[in-house]
A = this chain, B = another copy of it.
Amino acid sequence: MSANSRLTIAAHALAWIGLYQRQGHEVATSEQIAASANTNPVVIRRLLGELRRSGLVESRRGVGAGWSLARELGSMTLLDVYEAVEPGPLFAMHRTTPDQGCVVGHGIQPAMQDIYEGIEETVRHELARVTLEDVLRNVLATPR
C-alpha cells in the first residue's frame, strides 16, 4: 500500500505554524518546521507550496521571510489538506486495460469504480469532520 506520509507531514507543518503564531511569532521558516518533522526544508517548502496554492497558507520572501496561516486552524479541515496534497485515488485500477473481449475484463472496472467512489466519498466525509484546530488540540493533549 501507500508508504505515503504527505497528509501527516502537512498536518504537522500546519499545527506547528499555528502553535508558533499563537506564541506571538509572525512567520515560521521551513527550516524550523523541517527540524520538528525531522526532514529536509525543501520537502516542507514543496508541501507548503501546495497548501499555498489551495489558500491554506501564505509565504513571504526576503529577510525575515517564512510561512503563516492564511486562515484560522479551526476553519481548515483535513479534507482541505488532503485535497491540496494527495493527487490520486485511494485504490487504483489495473495498470493495463483488461481484456475487453472477456465479460469480466469488460465489466470489472466500472463495477469497482462505483464501489471505490463510494468509499472515497466516505473518507472525504470523515476527513472533513476534523479541523486542524482539533488536531492541534489533540497534539497538545498528548501526555509527556
Chain A residues proximal to chain B, CB less than 8 Å: 1-5, 7-9, 11-12, 15-16, 19, 35-39, 78, 86-99, 102-108, 110-112, 114-115, 118-119, 122-123, 126-127, 130, 135-136, 138-142, 144
Q: Are B2 and A2 in contact (CB under 8 A)?
A: yes
In the bound complex, residues from chain B placing their C-beta under 8 Å from that of A86 are 1
Given A36-B99, A90-B1, does the pair A144, B105 have CB atoms closer than 8 Å? no
Residue on B nearest A110 in the bound complex, by CB = B142
Q: Are B92 and A3 in contact (CB under 8 A)?
A: yes
> How many copies of the polypeptide does the oligomer hold?
2
Tell me, rounded to whole Å, the shortest Cβ–Cβ distance linking A105 to chain B: 5
Q: Are B138 and A8 in contact (CB under 8 A)?
A: no
Q: Are A135 and B115 in contact (CB under 8 A)?
A: yes
Q: Are B112 and A11 in contact (CB under 8 A)?
A: yes
In the bound complex, residues from chain B placing their C-beta under 8 Å from that of A126 are 118-119, 122
Residue on B nearest A105 in the bound complex, by CB = B36
In the bound complex, residues from chain B placing their C-beta under 8 Å from that of A92 are 2-5, 8
In the bound complex, residues from chain B placing their C-beta under 8 Å from that of A78 are 115
